[in-house]
């Protein structure tokens, strides 16, 4: 690989130049090896945030991050398809979705992460199940895909190490919001994971990373473009995240709600989005003749869930943790619940102990918020609207304060919202 000077590359992007493929390859490789200092990479990340990257630069940056580590060879006899969500409040969809799509005949390698801030992580939710373990070897992943059809676990250390290092740097240098860096971060891990097709759930709204539709659409198009350039069958589904998904926001309570869905019940919005994303995944996997709604109601997906949890040491029948302290938030007046702000509910759950501010912080598995009413419901003064749950009673006040402007009661009906806003296909 040619040798470049990090300062020259920083200056080039500072001055709005397009970086060459060789410059990008060298910079990512040198940073991963430690030959480029954190302060130099943070300067380049800020230049990228301010001046952007072309589609070609972003695709090359992604490829360089993939090449910084290993690529999984899944070696299974089913079509492989994965799903990635950009994160939301009550977004438990991976939990029922992975076993459902596996029960429909695909293999689902779902390498997931932990939550930061107001959006909970899939691994945090699953770790509330007694005995369940997130860390699997590459051979464990392959074996479970062959025997069960679905695996949800932590990424192996060898996958896209450049991304792991750069993500931590962006988090502390104010450069998280760059669309090219977000897109390359997501896609480098997904490409290295080795699935043949990928559906992206790009959230938009107050509880999402992207608050407005234009920004979410820009990110969705960037993600799909990278996927196409790397030979993936890919689509991005833009979905609403202005109201929490389902009724449960936390860890153990989201697992319980997911199990309800897998047993044929659960909140209508969680069922709707699970089935919609399953249809998209099955279409990309060449299994569009299978009806995921019928498979969900048959109980096959729940059986796959039990096998998936058991394969990773968990007991699917074990009682889940329950919070020691519960406080009810009541309606302040009669009327219609017009607004239940996803961000406010997410921050409340976080403050109650369900989330973390730093990656090394622990989470309370029993903590969270149960939504007892949703926008559109008629409510009476004194009616319970939410339950705040925590093992630490001194956190209840902070949870309550987070909801101060998040609950709106009026006399007009709430706006009808469509969960699926748009779909962008590669």
| Residues with catalytic function | 84, 163, 170, 185, 189
Percentages helix, strand, coil for the chain (3-state, rounded to 5) are 45, 15, 40
Q: How does 335-347 read in b/e, with b if 16+ C-beta sit within 10 Å?
A: bbbbbbbbbbbbb
Going by C-alpha positions, the residue among 150, 147, 136, 132 that lies closest to residue 195 is 150
Q: Report the half-sphere exposure of 128 (CA within 13 A, side-chain side).
A: 28
| Spatial distance between the Cα atoms of 328 and 387, rounded to a whole number of angstroms | 5
| Spatial distance between the Cα atoms of 242 and 404, rounded to a whole number of angstroms | 16
| Spatial distance between the Cα atoms of 40 and 276, rounded to a whole number of angstroms | 43
Contact 420, 239 (CB under 8 A): yes
Contact 89, 52 (CB under 8 A): no
Going by C-alpha positions, the residue among 177, 129, 116 that lies closest to residue 350 is 116
- Backbone CA torsion sign across 281, 144, 164, 192: negative
Contact 89, 158 (CB under 8 A): no
């Amino acid at each position: 690989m040619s040798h470049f000077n990090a300062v020259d590359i920083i200056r080039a992007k500072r001055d709005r130049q397009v970086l060459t493929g060789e410059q990008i390859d060298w910079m990512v490789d040198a940073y991963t090896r430690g030959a480029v200092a954190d302060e130099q990479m943070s300067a380049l990340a800020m230049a990228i945030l301010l001046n952007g990257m072309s589609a070609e630069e972003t695709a090359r940056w992604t490829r360089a991050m993939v090449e910084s580590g290993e690529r999984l060879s899944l070696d299974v006899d089913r079509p492989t398809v994965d799903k990635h969500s950009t994160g939301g409040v009550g977004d438990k969809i991976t939990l029922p979705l992975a076993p459902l799509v596996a029960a429909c005949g695909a293999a689902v390698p779902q390498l997931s992460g932990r939550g930061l801030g107001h959006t909970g992580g899939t691994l945090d939710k699953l770790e509330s199940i007694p005995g369940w373990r997130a860390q699997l070897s590459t051979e464990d992943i392959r074996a479970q895909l062959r025997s069960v059809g679905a695996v949800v676990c932590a990424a192996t250390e060898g996958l896209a190490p450049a991304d792991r290092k750069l993500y931590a740097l962006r988090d502390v240098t104010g450069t998280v919001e760059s669309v090219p860096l977000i897109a390359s971060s997501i896609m480098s891990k997904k490409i290295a994971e080795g699935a043949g097709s990928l559906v992206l759930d790009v959230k938009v709204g107050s509880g999402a990373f992207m608050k407005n539709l234009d920004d979410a659409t820009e990110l969705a198009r960037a993600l799909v473009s990278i996927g196409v350039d790397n030979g993936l069958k890919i689509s991005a589904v833009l979905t609403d995240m202005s109201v929490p998904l389902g009724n449960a926001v936390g860890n153990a309570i989201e697992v319980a709600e997911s199990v309800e869905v897998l047993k044929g019940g659960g909140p209508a919005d969680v069922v709707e989005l699970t089935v919609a994303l399953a249809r998209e995944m099955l279409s990309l996997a060449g299994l569009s003749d299978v009806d995921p709604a019928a498979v969900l109601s048959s109980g096959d997906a729940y059986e796959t869930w039990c096998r998936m949890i058991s394969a990773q040491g968990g007991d699917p029948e074990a009682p889940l943790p329950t919070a020691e302290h519960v406080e009810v938030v009541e309606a302040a007046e009669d009327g219609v619940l017009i607004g239940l702000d996803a961000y406010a509910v997410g921050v409340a759950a976080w403050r109650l102990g369900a989330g973390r501010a730093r990656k090394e912080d622990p989470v309370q598995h029993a903590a969270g918020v149960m939504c007892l009413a949703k926008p559109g419901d008629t409510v009476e003064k004194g009616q319970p609207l939410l339950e705040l749950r925590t093992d630490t009673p001194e956190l209840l006040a902070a949870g309550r304060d987070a909801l101060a402007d998040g609950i709106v009661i009026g006399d007009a009906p709430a706006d009808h919202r469509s969960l699926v806003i748009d779909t962008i296909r590669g």
